[in-house]
Amino acid sequence: MTEIVQFEEVRWPNVWRVMQPVFKAGETYPYAPEISEAEAHTAWIEIPAATYVAVGSDGAVLGTYYIKANQPGLGGHVCNCGYIVSEAARGGGVASQMCEHSQREALRLGFLAMQYNFVVATNEQAVRLWQKHNFEIIGTLPDAFRHARFGLVDAHIMHKNLKG
């Protein structure tokens, strides 16, 4: 059983252990592969409106996501989220569960829409998952991501209206 809870600082070391290999791989997030722990903490914990952690029945961190306004002021009703699932938990429905949870939280926090600004096109599993949750590709940025294995690849902008 996976439970999604609000991030607490005591969980940071375990969250960082889940995040670091994803950033280091250079395949799905634009953060520098050598991002420091402090920089990651700022980006994932301090800047967002809220951060959540998916934990297993044994208390292990299975994944994490953040939610924040996509733009300030007059664009602040649209949120942005980032999700990471631990290597051990991939394919087990954790990302889908976090996506559903994030949409409920977005509405609770007053957001009317959700936009993913930079979904790496070669991350086909993520693209399919977000489409399954009714996100649409509303634009594609050509050669926007320097993939560690494939070189320059496209990135998608994906959007979903949350207000019904």
Interval 42-99: pLDDT, tens:
999 999 999 999 999 999 999 999 999 999 999 999 999 999 999 999 999 999 999 9
Q: SS3 of 71, please?
A: coil
Q: Which residues contact 80 (CB under 8 A, 6 or more apart)?
A: 67, 68, 69, 70, 114, 115, 116, 117
pLDDT tens for residues 112-157?
999 999 999 999 999 999 999 999 999 999 999 999 999 999 999 9
Q: CB–CB of 78/115 below 8 Å?
A: yes
- Domains of the chain, first to last: 3-161 (3.40.630.30)
Confidence class of residue 18 from pLDDT cuts 50, 70 and 90?
A: very high
Closest CA relative to residue 138, chosen from 147, 127, 125, 129: 127
Q: Enter the pTM of the model.
A: 0.95
